[in-house]
């Protein structure tokens, strides 16, 4: 789920772009899953029972995501009936509700198997939804099939969406299915070299045992290469021909999928690291996972709720007819001195187009013009510093904003359009913040980030 939320990966030659989200806290009770997680994510997951989370100490967050066991739900014999649990696993759902009640994030996403809809003769799910509603959320759910979103697997999962604000709830729509030519099948992810890995093939004895009961038991389900694979599960390491698990037939011989093939079936990119744990643990983690490509599509739909409006330049000009901000450099420095920047001050990080790069590379830039669109979320009257962002490189140099105002793109030139308003920043280079360029996410339209120097230093781990 986290990989889909963050994005920034490639699967079967398709780029799933980075999303403007950051993980601030994650826990898992499984040591081995956590080890895989921490090999792949910058933010590190803690090995912890969710019941031990100190909710009041959690960092600020806007969205809670996760899955919870559904096999433990029951309806207790009370009048009126209410949600109960058969064992400790059933309690985990209430931990999620407890966090929502106490912290009230803007959204939550909960994932579960299709069977949750029919648990306890269909009585459990409405009560689960009601618990979420009583925690203060407008709730909707939908059964999604991963194969509809470019995942080479027929995997049906219930995605529950919760919204604190009614407008968010009204504006959200589950993702539409991808076009037929974007859908993937098992043939797309089979690794040819694995067809020569004898450890993956079933013995003649196993095949003979399966064939004896095949017609009666509907076993030996060799997958069609030209269709999405059936659902892969957590016991892939112990897959049997006498079960309903999907298997692959190569030149008349049955074999199981390798761990990397199973990861591909789940839509994990090939650079997702698995080797920190045994192959059996890899299979378990993969089988329990949510297809990141499907989750990415859910998050892209959620982002449409988070529409950031562009600024109205005319309104800003009316409010600030001269300058929005005007600063004087506090410390005039000699070439041999180090500039003392203020970590608490706001900085605008902005993408610089390739045709403007030269003046920022040689640090001669004196004026920065925004495009016709500029996000309305940026606190213009607090801007103090400016950092140019180069695509494929990141940020390095710090500039001081002497003046920020509304102007035009070609001020004073014959072809100036007096109605073509832009924001104009009169800037001055002050120091190189990093030894080399540092990668950082542009969180607004993949073009801008409005933050503080302190946050920049923290994100780049300086």
Q: Is 70 a catalytic residue?
A: yes
The residue from 303, 330, 351 where one domain ends is 303
- Distance CA(194)–CA(203), nearest Å, equals 16
Same domain, 401 and 297: no
Helices (H), 9-103: 31-40, 92-103
Same domain, 298 and 333: no
- Distance CA(449)–CA(387), nearest Å, equals 10
**Which of 220-224, 260-264, 325-329, 388-392 has the largest mean confidence?**
260-264
- The alpha-carbon radius of gyration of the chain (Å, integer) is 27
Q: Name the token pair of 33.
A: 């899953």
- Distance CA(217)–CA(78), nearest Å, equals 40
Which of 265-279, 280-294, 345-359 shows the lowest per-residue confidence on average (mean pLDDT)? 345-359
Coil vs helix vs strand at 381: helix
- Distance CA(267)–CA(12), nearest Å, equals 8
Coil vs helix vs strand at 188: helix
List beta partners, residue 389: 351
* Domain-located, residue 73: yes
* Domain-located, residue 102: yes
CATH of the domain at 72: 3.40.50.150
Which of 115-124, 133-142, 181-190, 389-398 shows the lowest per-residue confidence on average (mean pLDDT)? 115-124
DSSP-assigned letter for residue 194: G
Q: Name the token pair of 396.
A: 């390095």
Q: Name the token pair of 107.
A: 């959204």
Instruction: Assess contact for 441 and 455: CB atoms under 8 A.
Output: no
Is the pLDDT reported for residue 219 higher than 90? no
Is the pLDDT reported for residue 436 higher than 50? yes
* Domain-located, residue 263: no
pLDDT the model gives residue 216: 47
The residue from 260, 277, 303 where one domain ends is 303
Q: Name the token pair of 254.
A: 């049955």
What is the DSSP track for 197-256? Answer: -GGGBPPHHHHHHHHHHHHHHT---BPPTTSPEEPP-TTGGG--TTSS--BEEETTEEEP
Same domain, 295 and 380: no
Same domain, 322 and 347: yes
Instruction: Assess contact for 5 and 64: CB atoms under 8 A.
Output: no
DSSP-assigned letter for residue 43: S
Strands (E) across 295-420 are located at: 325-326, 346-351, 367-369, 383-389, 397-408
Same domain, 295 and 411: no
Same domain, 109 and 25: yes
Same domain, 8 and 127: yes
Query: Pick from 411, 431, 439: which is nearest to 423 by CA?
Result: 411
The residue from 268, 303, 338 where one domain ends is 303
Same domain, 15 and 156: yes
Same domain, 299 and 387: no
Residue count (the chain): 462
- Distance CA(127)–CA(125), nearest Å, equals 5
Which of 340-349, 350-359, 413-422 shows the lowest per-residue confidence on average (mean pLDDT)? 413-422
* Domain-located, residue 209: no
Instruction: Quick: pLDDT tens for 16-74.
Output: 998 888 899 999 999 999 999 999 999 999 999 999 999 999 988 999 999 887 666 66
Helices (H), 64-164: 92-103, 119-122, 124-134
Same domain, 299 and 342: no
* Domain-located, residue 351: yes
Q: Across residues 202-206, what is the average pLDDT?
A: 80
CATH of the domain at 400: 3.10.590
Instruction: Assess contact for 304 and 171: CB atoms under 8 A.
Output: yes
**Torsion sign, CA atoms 117, 123, 129, 135:** negative
* Domain-located, residue 218: no
- Distance CA(402)–CA(369), nearest Å, equals 14
pLDDT the model gives residue 212: 59
pTM above 0.75, yes or no: no
Q: Across residues 187-194, what is the average pLDDT?
A: 96
- Distance CA(162)–CA(155), nearest Å, equals 22
**Which of 110-114, 336-340, 444-448 has the largest mean confidence?**
110-114
Question: What is each CA distance from 14 to 9, 182, 269, 293, 297, in whole angstroms?
Answer: 9, 9, 10, 10, 13
Is the pLDDT reported for residue 422 higher than 50? yes
Question: What is each CA distance from 20 to 170, 376, 417, in whole angstroms?
Answer: 22, 16, 34
Same domain, 297 and 440: no
* Domain-located, residue 435: yes
Same domain, 380 and 433: yes
pLDDT the model gives residue 356: 83
Instruction: Assess contact for 327 and 384: CB atoms under 8 A.
Output: yes
Total count of domains within the chain: 2
**Torsion sign, CA atoms 26, 31, 34, 39:** positive
- pLDDT bin (cut points 50, 70, 90) of residue 140 is very high
Q: Which distant-in-sequence residues (6+ apart) come within 8 Å of 78 by Cβ?
A: none
The one catalytic residue in 33, 45, 70, 229 is 70
Is the pLDDT reported for residue 210 higher than 80? no
Domain that holds residue 38: 2-180+291-303
What is the DSSP track for 144-156? Answer: EEGGGGT-SEE-E
* Domain-located, residue 118: yes
- Distance CA(372)–CA(307), nearest Å, equals 17
Is the pLDDT reported for residue 217 higher than 50? no
pLDDT the model gives residue 455: 86
- Distance CA(366)–CA(388), nearest Å, equals 12
């Amino acid at each position: 789920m986290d990989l889909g939320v963050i994005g920034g990966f490639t699967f079967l030659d398709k780029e799933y772009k980075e999303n403007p989200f950051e993980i601030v806290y994650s826990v898992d009770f499984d040591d081995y899953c956590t080890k895989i997680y921490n090999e792949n994510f910058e933010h590190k997951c803690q090995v912890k029972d969710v019941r031990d989370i100190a909710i009041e100490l959690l960092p600020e967050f806007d969205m809670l995501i996760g899955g919870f066991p559904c096999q433990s739900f029951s309806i207790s014999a009370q009048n009126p009936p209410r949600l109960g649990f058969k064992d400790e696993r059933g309690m985990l759902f209430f931990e999620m509700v407890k966090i929502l009640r106490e912290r009230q994030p803007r959204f939550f996403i909960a994932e579960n198997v299709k069977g949750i809809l029919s648990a306890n003769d269909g009585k459990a799910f409405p009560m689960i939804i009601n618990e979420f509603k009583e925690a203060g959320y407008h709730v909707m759910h939908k059964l999604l099939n991963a194969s509809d979103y470019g995942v080479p697997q027929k995997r049906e999962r219930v995605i529950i969406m919760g919204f604190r604000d009614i407008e968010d709830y009204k504006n959200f729509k589950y993702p539409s299915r991808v076009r037929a030519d974007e859908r993937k099948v098992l043939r797309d992810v089979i690794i040819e070299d694995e067809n020569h890995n004898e450890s993956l093939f079933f013995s003649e004895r196993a095949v003979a045992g399966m064939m004896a009961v095949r017609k009666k038991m509907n076993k030996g389900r060799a997958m069609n290469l030209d269709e999405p694979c059936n659902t892969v599960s957590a016991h892939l390491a112990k897959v049997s021909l006498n079960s309903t698990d999907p298997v692959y037939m190569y030149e008349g011989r049955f074999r199981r999928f390798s761990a990397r093939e199973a990861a591909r079936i789940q839509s994990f990119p090939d650079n997702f690291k698995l080797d920190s744990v045994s192959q059996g643990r890899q299979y378990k983690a993969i089988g329990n996972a949510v297809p990141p490509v499907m989750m990415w599509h859910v998050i892209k739909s959620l982002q449409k709720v988070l529409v950031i409006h562009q600024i109205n330049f005319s309104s800003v000009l009316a409010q600030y007819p001269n300058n929005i901000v005007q600063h004087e450099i506090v410390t005039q420095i000699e070439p041999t001195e180090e500039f003392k920047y203020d970590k608490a001050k706001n900085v605008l990080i902005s993408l610089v187009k390739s045709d403007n790069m030269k003046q920022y590379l040689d640090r001669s830039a004196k004026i920065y013009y925004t495009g016709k669109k500029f996000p309305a979320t940026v606190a213009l009257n607090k801007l103090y510093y400016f950092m140019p962002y180069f695509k494929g490189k990141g940020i390095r140099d710090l500039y001081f904003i002497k003046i920020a105002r509304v102007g035009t793109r070609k001020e004073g030139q014959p072809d100036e359009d007096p109605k073509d308003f832009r924001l104009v920043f009169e800037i001055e280079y002050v120091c190189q913040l990093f030894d080399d360029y540092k990668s950082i996410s542009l969180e607004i339209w993949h073009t801008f980030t409005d933050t503080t120097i302190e946050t920049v230093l923290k994100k780049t781990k300086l």
